[in-house]
Amino acid sequence: MTEDAKTRLLDVDKLVVEYPSKGFRAKPFRALTDISISIGQGETLGLVGESGSGKTTLGRAVLGLAPVTAGTITFEGDDISHASRKKRQTLSRDLQVVFQDPYTSLNPAMTIGDILAEPLGIQGISQKDSRKRVKELLDQVNLPSDALSRQPREFSGGQRQRVAIARALALSPKLIVCDEPVSALDLTTQATVLDLFLQIQRDTGVSYLFISHDLDVVRHISHRVAVMYHGEIVEQGLAGQITRDPQHPYTQRLLLASPVPDPDRQEKRRTERKRLLAEQAAA
């Protein structure tokens, strides 16, 4: 094994995901085709694409929530492509997720303390150690200690997403799949939550697979970027290179779709994006 392979946390190699189609003899629907990515220790890979591009399906496959038809998913050198339920429970210590919507990802009937303690209890951690860990988690995501006895409805969207992040951090994972974690938040709150992700990574060394439709968001948080289109990766590389000088027309369109405050620049972006769309339609 090379030194580079030793420091890689996740390797996805030629992954194919297919779902059965309805109807007699109907061909299965192929959601992902020959996907290959890797994530190193303490690294963020931004996965960007429009709705329907397959980016969430890739995240679900890594989490064991989408069927692997072909190819492999390797975590710390261990093939987890078809891991059993028992194996997945063990993996949950090192592999966690933050979902898109903070309003629906938290159980409204539970207190914040119970939500954060739940994954610790599942792993057999004592109540005493759980209480200590929950207080540490609240500090880590900058929430007040009195949040323990309160319910999700008492918090804003940004605060709820902080709770979701704290829950994902409870077992000190090595990799977190972040599935559009800021898309439901306003721009100011987005910036605050993104800065929190960055600070947590600096403090803990956790890695992220950060899924988003917004290239500007991905640029802010990622070391490398992979661009998905119709279930395939069309471009990947260092975040600076991909977001400053994209080579694939689809990535160029994504970049031009990001809003800018200057009306003249925004109008130029719209014109250029329309030209790219017309060229692709004619090809």
Question: What is the average per-residue pLDDT within 82-94?
Answer: 91
Residues of the chain with pLDDT > 70: what percent? Answer: 89
In a domain, 270, yes or no: yes
In a domain, 96, yes or no: no
Residue 151 makes CB contacts below 8 A (sequence gap 6+) with: 108, 109, 110, 111, 112
pLDDT digits (tens, 9 = 90+) for 53-81: 999 999 999 999 999 999 999 999 999 99
Count of the separate structural domains present in the chain: 1
Pick the more confident residue, 161 or 101.
161
pLDDT at 164: 93
pLDDT at 254: 85
Instruction: Report DSSP letters for the chain, one per residue.
Output: --HHHHHEEEEEEEEEEEEPPSSTTPPPEEEEEEEEEEEETT-EEEEE--TTSSHHHHHHHHTT-S---EEEEEETTEE-TT--HHHHHHHTTTEEEE-S-TTTSS-TTS-HHHHHHHHHHHTT--HHHHHHHHHHHHHHTT--GGGGGS-GGGS-HHHHHHHHHHHHHTT--SEEEEESTTTTS-HHHHHHHHHHHHHHHHHH--EEEEEES-HHHHHHH-SEEEEEETTEEEEEEEHHHHHHS--SHHHHHHHHHS--S-HHHHHHHHHHHHHHHHHHHH-
Amino acid at site 67: P
pLDDT at 3: 40
Q: Which two tokens stand for residue 272?
A: 């250029």
In a domain, 260, yes or no: yes
pLDDT digits (tens, 9 = 90+) for 221-260: 999 999 999 999 999 999 999 988 899 988 988 887 765 5
Mean pLDDT, the chain, rounded, equals 88
| pLDDT bracket for residue 100 (50, 70, 90) | confident
- Cβ-contact 47, 58 below 8 angstroms: yes
Residues in the chain: 283
**Whole domain around residue 274: which residue ranges?**
248-283
| pLDDT bracket for residue 14 (50, 70, 90) | very high
In a domain, 279, yes or no: yes
pTM of this prediction?
0.87
Q: Which two tokens stand for residue 259?
A: 């809003």
In a domain, 265, yes or no: yes
pLDDT at 260: 53
In a domain, 273, yes or no: yes
In a domain, 82, yes or no: no
Selection from 56, 47, 94 nearest residue 75 by Cα: 94
List b or e across 112-132, with b for residues whose CB sees 16 or more CB atoms inside 10 angstroms: bbebbbebbeeeebeeeebee
pLDDT at 255: 82
In a domain, 266, yes or no: yes
- Cβ-contact 68, 15 below 8 angstroms: yes
